[in-house]
């Protein structure tokens, strides 16, 4: 049974560092209850924070997420990221945008979090990005630097921690071990873990970074490493591995449309029992953004984590686009609930 229908916006939990304030608030949808049931080994504090993210904003209660990530200044540089919309140089602009649009959460690096958290952490779930790589040197086998951890996340009142891995890099095992340490600390602290699983490095071709078999593999790895929420890129029709091509073709797995390929990626994430959201990628036109989200929603994706396609637009345009994207994912959730005979 897939996540159920939206039951309306729920109140925002206050004092996110206080477990008492993170108790269930208001009526709950079966969608959120079911999703939380997929994590039976997690402690109550982790589930309360995950519930807070799932109940935040316009998609609250639907089982779908639309997250605003802003780590592009680190990854790509400030000019490439913010010159087109100079308001974005100020970290507070992005938090305000996430609230105005009704986003589920806002992901950001430590420096920005220190600016944003005191004023926004009570009203907006923040995901502290704990590692990152700058774009000034990009070798054949990249490895992000660990720059924050659970201690900082708790001190700033964040709702979750995030971490990037590069399956396919010769340094992947070091990243997996770092992620294991973060997952252990996050579990002890009651913080959900969000994993950016981006294949790259000498083990995959350039085209293979978004190949459907490689993206599915990356999602599965993130789940096995303890992710509550997995972020991957929308998968292309390309198949990197001959062995995977033989297996998928022999099993008759449909991969023709983006929705088909998303369905395979989601199935690879514990048969859809982990939250898989898809990146927005490079800036593109509104029609293309909306169609991509229609396809990922139709394939059973749990939403999007969309940065440049939102914050590089003027504020009003960004809010409208984010809300259109939310409407697409909420409609897909409601349609799936009706097909399954689920009511809130």
**221-233 per-position pLDDT tens digit:** 999 999 999 999 9
Q: Which of 5-9, 62-66, 146-150, 253-257 has the lowest mean pLDDT?
A: 5-9
pLDDT of residue 226: 98
pLDDT of residue 53: 98
pLDDT at position 7 over 60: no
Which whole-number Å values give the CA distances from 13 to 20, 23, 79, in the listed order? 10, 8, 36
Contact 240, 215 (CB under 8 A): no
For the residues 160-186, what does the mean pLDDT come to?
98
pLDDT of residue 2: 43
249: its two tokens: 């073709």
pLDDT tier at 116, thresholds 50, 70, 90:
very high
For the residues 166-185, what does the mean pLDDT come to?
98
pLDDT tier at 340, thresholds 50, 70, 90:
low
For the residues 114-139, what does the mean pLDDT come to?
96
Which whole-number Å values give the CA distances from 163 to 59, 77, 78, in the listed order? 24, 19, 21
The CA-based dihedral angle spanning residues 190, 219, 205, 129, taken in that order and rounded to the nearest 10 degrees: -20
pLDDT at position 219 over 50: yes
pLDDT at position 11 over 80: no
Cα 239 from chain centre: 24
pLDDT at position 6 over 80: no
CA distance 259 to 126: 29
pLDDT at position 26 over 50: no
Secondary structure class of 126 (helix, strand, coil): strand
CA distance 328 to 185: 36
CA distance 253 to 245: 10
Phi, psi of 104 (to 5 degrees): -75, -30
Residue by residue, DSSP assigns 198-230 as ---STTS-TGGGGBHHHHHHHHHHHHHTT-SEE
Enumerate the domain spans of the chain: 65-326
CA distance 309 to 70: 11
Establish whether 231 is a catalytic residue.
Answer: yes
Q: Which residue has the tokens 């396919």?
A: 168
Contact 102, 59 (CB under 8 A): yes
Cα 277–Cα 39–Cα 31 angle in degrees, nearest 5: 60
Contact 248, 255 (CB under 8 A): yes
User: What element of type H or E holds 276?
Assistant: strand 275-279
Q: Which alpha helices (DSSP H) does 19-76 contain, by range?
A: 30-37, 44-54, 72-76
The rounded mean pLDDT for the chain is 91
pLDDT of residue 337: 67
Q: What is the pLDDT of residues 40-81, one digit of tens each?
A: 999 999 999 999 999 999 999 999 999 999 999 999 999 999
Q: Of 201 and 19, which is predicted with more confidence?
A: 201
Q: What is the pLDDT of residues 259-317, one digit of tens each?
A: 999 999 999 999 999 999 999 988 899 999 999 999 999 999 999 999 999 999 999 99
pLDDT of residue 29: 77
Cα 266–Cα 271–Cα 274 angle in degrees, nearest 5: 65
Which whole-number Å values give the CA distances from 205 to 172, 230, 237, in the listed order? 16, 22, 14
pLDDT of residue 17: 37
CA distance 169 to 202: 6
137: its two tokens: 């040197």
The CA-based dihedral angle spanning residues 315, 6, 14, 183, taken in that order and rounded to the nearest 10 degrees: -90
pLDDT at position 5 over 50: no
User: What element of type H or E holds 68?
Assistant: strand 65-69
Q: What is the pLDDT of residues 117-126, one digit of tens each?
A: 999 999 999 9
pLDDT of residue 282: 85
Q: What is the pTM of this model?
A: 0.91
Catalytic residue among 129, 231, 233, 284: 231
CA distance 107 to 274: 19
CATH 3.40.50.1970 holds for 65-326:
no
pLDDT of residue 292: 98
Cα 152–Cα 46–Cα 298 angle in degrees, nearest 5: 105
CA distance 310 to 31: 27
pLDDT at position 178 over 70: yes
Q: What is the pLDDT of residues 328-338, one digit of tens each?
A: 999 999 988 66
Burial 40-51 (b: 16+ CB within 10 A, else e): eebeebbbbbbb
pLDDT at position 38 over 50: yes
Q: What proportion of the chain, given as a percentage, has pLDDT over 70?
A: 90
């Amino acid at each position: 049974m897939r996540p159920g229908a939206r039951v309306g916006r729920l109140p925002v939990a206050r004092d996110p560092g206080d477990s008492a304030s993170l108790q269930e608030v208001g009526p709950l949808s079966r969608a959120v209850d079911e999703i939380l049931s997929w994590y039976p080994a997690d402690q109550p504090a982790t589930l309360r924070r995950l519930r807070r993210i799932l109940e935040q904003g316009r998609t609250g209660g639907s089982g779908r997420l639309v997250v605003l990530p802003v780590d592009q200044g680190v990854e790509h540089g400030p000019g490439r990221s913010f010159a087109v919309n100079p308001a974005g140089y100020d970290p507070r602009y992005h938090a305000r945008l996430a609230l105005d649009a009704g986003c589920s959460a806002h992901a950001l690096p430590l420096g920005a979090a220190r600016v944003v958290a005191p004023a926004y952490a009570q009203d907006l779930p923040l995901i502290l990005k704990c590692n990152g790589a700058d774009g000034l040197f990009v070798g054949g086998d990249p490895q992000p630097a660990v720059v924050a951890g659970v201690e900082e996340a708790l001190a700033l009142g964040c709702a979750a921690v995030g971490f990037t891995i590069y399956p396919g890099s010769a340094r992947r095992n070091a990243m997996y071990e770092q992620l294991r340490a973060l997952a252990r600390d996050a579990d002890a602290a009651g913080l959900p873990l969000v994993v950016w699983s981006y294949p790259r490095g000498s083990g995959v071709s350039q085209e293979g970074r978004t190949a459907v078999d490689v993206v599915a593999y990356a999602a599965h790895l993130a789940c096995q490493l303890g992710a509550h929420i997995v972020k991957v890129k929308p998968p292309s029709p390309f198949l990197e591995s001959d062995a995977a091509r033989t297996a998928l073709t022999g099993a008759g797995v449909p991969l023709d449309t983006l929705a088909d390929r998303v369905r395979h990626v989601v199935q690879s994430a514990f048969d859809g029992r982990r939250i898989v959201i898809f990146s927005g990628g490079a800036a593109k036109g509104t029609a293309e953004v909306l169609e991509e989200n229609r396809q990922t929603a139709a394939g059973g994706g749990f939403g999007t984590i969309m940065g440049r396609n939102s914050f590089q637009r003027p504020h009003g345009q960004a809010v409208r686009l984010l809300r259109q994207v939310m409407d697409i994912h909420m409609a897909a959730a409601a349609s799936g609930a009706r097909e399954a005979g689920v009511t809130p």
